[in-house]
Amino acid sequence: MATDGGSYTASDITVLEGLEPVRLRPGMYIGSTGPTGLHHLVVEIVDNAVDEAMAGYCTRIDVTLLADGGCRVQDNGRGIPVEPHPQFPDRSAAEIVYTTLHAGGKFGGSGYKVSGGLHGVGASVVNALSSRLVLEIDRDGKHHVMEFVNGGEIKVPLEVTGDAPRDRTGTTVTFWPDASIFEEVEFRAQTITERLQVMAFLNRGLEIRFADQRPGNEKKEVFKYNGGIVDYVKHLNASKESLFRKVASYQQSEVNQEVEVALQWNTGFNESIFSFANGISTIEGGMHEEGFKKALTNVVNRYARSRNLVKEKDENLDGKDIREGLTAIVSVRLKDPQFEGQTKAKLGNVPVRSLVERATNEKLAEWLEENPTEANQVVRKSLVAQRARVAAQQARDLTRRKSGLDGAGLPGKLIDCSSRDRRECELFIVEGNSAGSSAKDARDPRTQAILPIRGKILNVERARIDKMLKNAEIQALIAAVGAGLGEEFEVSKIRYHKVIVLADADVDGSHIRTLLLTFFFRQMKPLVEGGFVYVAQPPLYSTLVGKEKVYLKDDLAKAAFLAEHPDHRHDFQRLKGLGEMNFDELRDTTIDPTKRSLLQISVEQAALADDVCSVLMGDDVELRRHFIQTNAKDVRFLDI
């Protein structure tokens, strides 16, 4: 190997000072420099305030989006300590917290018994990624102020500017994200309020106030739930039909750990268990969720046998049977949470599993004994689910033999691509035969496959899996994707790395999109979570500029075009349907990867997506109308 003769000595070793590592590699600390990372800044500061609430010192948090693009988070906790730090006598504790990574009240000591900050680096990371940050502390009767600029440089050292107003204590942080680091610095109110609402649910009685002061976006919301996670379960089940009105709830505490559980069944077929550790959503579950599921299965089976609802010779109810239609929140707080898994969202502390098991075995058993009517309804629903599960397994076996769920055969209507490299392969799910024919001619046969489906597929929100598997369109979908269904779905076996829903840009097309996305969310969830599901966005209009045809995606694009071409008022043509496009039009606007516009579907928050599916696909017409009216202007739901 050739060498360049360069030196490698001590002087070649770079030492990053202070907050430099954060600015150099922001993704390591906040995940990304896109919208997710931007909103993570707000979450980090709010989490610090919530830690004060969990410690019993804070009852109210105010989050304000300022007119100039900044964000202010104010709490009425104890206020960050302002005295000199024992290890660094010339610097205040507050300065250390905002300028040093891995500094805070979460690492041993008696600052916090439990805390939500995942890495304990929140305050300093937010400072590092802000163009300006103002820290105000009310403590010991005095109002202290400190200001930072350019990612953590001290502009104004900590100083007392007067007395604290009305004996107030607490911390106020105002920051402006650095536009040179983030792809965009405009906060999205709904992303923030969704998180604030969850934090209020998880901290019973904590009042969180939100205000948006940006021109054109002005709004105020208050989140406060005296019922805590019981209110959370009611909220999640509001769009569903509850099996009974009561919500079961219980809690148990030990030294350094505690658990709180609330649960209620609905008449639907989907399981919705959401678990949290110190306020952090553990979307991959973990020990607390394992303990809950195991004990729930034991408790219901014990009750069913004691009442002779399950006969001695009969099989036990399976955990899946019992959890059908269950909405549950499992929230634990513990001294030293150990997070693991790909997204650091799985709780690994073993002792918490036995705590949740003991609490459920004891307290849920008591609840069932004290509420026999509801307990019997749970057992009866579980028995029906058990019968459906057995029928579904038989239907699955039949489907495997017929159409090759295991990959042995593909549906006759699938027009497959020739490449066997799944990373470059795309599957277009096209509504209607005429559109399917155009799409076939418009595609690249090497990498693009077409699956035409007829009309509106079965609404999977209102059907059990055994009925679902008898539906020809759904059978074709399962076979084409090739990775199974439900809990047996193996994302490693998918035959295409892009599954693209291609439907008309009208009301019927929107309905078909919603049905398909609901199906993927419910029955092929890892496909959505992995970012493999897309929605094609065919244009609504075409127009001629000279001899060249220009396609416009929607009314916004049309308005922007007219603003640029004020004299161009004639001959806009509205494109009614995919089937009416020539194959070359379809290729140029919707299928060609170099020209098309795709919307990637993501599950930002499992609870939210679950709620959206239930509202849009459920039976409550009034709730659905309200949802659509509320979100009509929200681009995220435009294609859903």
Note the pLDDT tens digit of each residue in 356-401.
Answer: 999 999 999 999 999 999 999 999 999 988 888 887 776 666 545 4
**pLDDT tens figures, 504-534:** 766 677 777 777 887 888 788 899 888 898 8
- Indicate the average pLDDT of the chain: 82
Tokens of 220: 């105020």
Confidence of residue 112 (pLDDT cuts 50, 70, 90): low
* Mean local confidence (pLDDT), 243-251: 94
Per-residue confidence (pLDDT) for residue 34, from 0 to 100: 85
Bridge partners of residue 145, in order along the sequence? 136, 159
CA pair distance 272, 326, nearest whole angstrom: 6
* Mean local confidence (pLDDT), 97-119: 58
CA pair distance 22, 121, nearest whole angstrom: 10
CATH of domain 229-389: 3.30.230.10
| C-alpha angle 617-618-624 in degrees, rounded to nearest 5 | 80
CA pair distance 515, 509, nearest whole angstrom: 10
Tokens of 244: 């009974």
Percent of the chain with pLDDT over 90: 40
Which range is least confidently modeled, 252-261, 391-400, 464-473? 391-400
CATH of domain 20-223: 3.30.565.10
* Mean local confidence (pLDDT), 145-151: 94
Per-residue confidence (pLDDT) for residue 621, from 0 to 100: 63
CA pair distance 250, 134, nearest whole angstrom: 42
Tokens of 387: 């019968």
**Model pTM score:** 0.67
Contact 474, 516 (CB under 8 A): no
* Mean local confidence (pLDDT), 310-331: 92
CA pair distance 364, 263, nearest whole angstrom: 10
Tokens of 429: 């799910």
Class of domain 404-538+581-637: alpha beta
Tokens of 326: 């269950």
Per-residue confidence (pLDDT) for residue 403, from 0 to 100: 43
Bridge partners of residue 130, in order along the sequence? 177
Contact 458, 473 (CB under 8 A): yes
Domain boundaries, the chain: 20-223, 229-389, 404-538+581-637, 541-574
CA pair distance 164, 147, nearest whole angstrom: 18
Q: Is 328 or 414 the better-scoring residue by pLDDT?
A: 328
- List CB contacts of 546: < 8 A, sequence separation 6 or more: none
* Mean local confidence (pLDDT), 8-13: 47
Task: Return the CA Rg of the chain.
Answer: 28
**Helix 372-403 / helix 472-481 crossing angle, nearest 10 deg:** 70
Active site residues: 431, 504, 506, 508
CA pair distance 365, 379, nearest whole angstrom: 13
Per-residue confidence (pLDDT) for residue 473, from 0 to 100: 83
